Amino acid sequence: MRDYSSRSTPPTAQQVERQHAALERLYMPAMPPLWLFALIGRVVQRWRERRAIKALLKRDDHILCDLGHSRARLRQRLHEPGPHDARLRDHAARSGP
């Protein structure tokens, strides 16, 4: 004779729904912060530009002239604030000391 007392009852529809909801919460991928990736991309791009300008500034004036650059314009570009720098400056001005 079989022992049927150890058999569990089948789950109700509500229990099944709760299990599915728990699994969906567990496996649902989070949305990455796209604004952060864009910001990092801009910062890296500005860093690369500044590194290239610094490499050009190490060259002789005659070579810079041959390449179509002037030392004064390169220094000006090196010290120009990027779009991110301008936003930080505006934010600091609004927030005050």
Render 26-74 in DSSP notation, one character per residue.
Answer: HHPPPPP-HHHHHHHHHHHHHHHHHHHHHHHHTS-HHHHHHHT--HHHH
Determine the pLDDT at residue 19: 77
Higher-pLDDT residue of 87 and 55 is: 55
Coil, strand or helix: which one is 8? coil
Count of domains in the chain? Answer: 1
- Residues spanned by the domain of 68: 34-79
The number of beta carbons lying within 10 Å of the beta carbon of residue 67 is 10
More confident residue, 8 or 67: 67
Model pLDDT for residues 47-69, shown as the tens digit of each residue: 999 999 999 999 999 999 999 99
Percentage, residues of the chain above pLDDT 70 = 67
Residue 85 placed within a domain? no
Cα separation, 20 vs 42, in Å, equals 41
89 within a domain of the structure (yes/no): no
Residue 10 half-sphere exposure, CB side, CA atoms within 13 Å?
1
pTM over 0.75? The answer is no
Between 9 and 35, the more confident residue is 35
Residue 38 within a domain: yes
What is the per-residue pLDDT for 68? 92
Is 27 within a domain?
no
Tell whether 62 is covered by a domain. Answer: yes
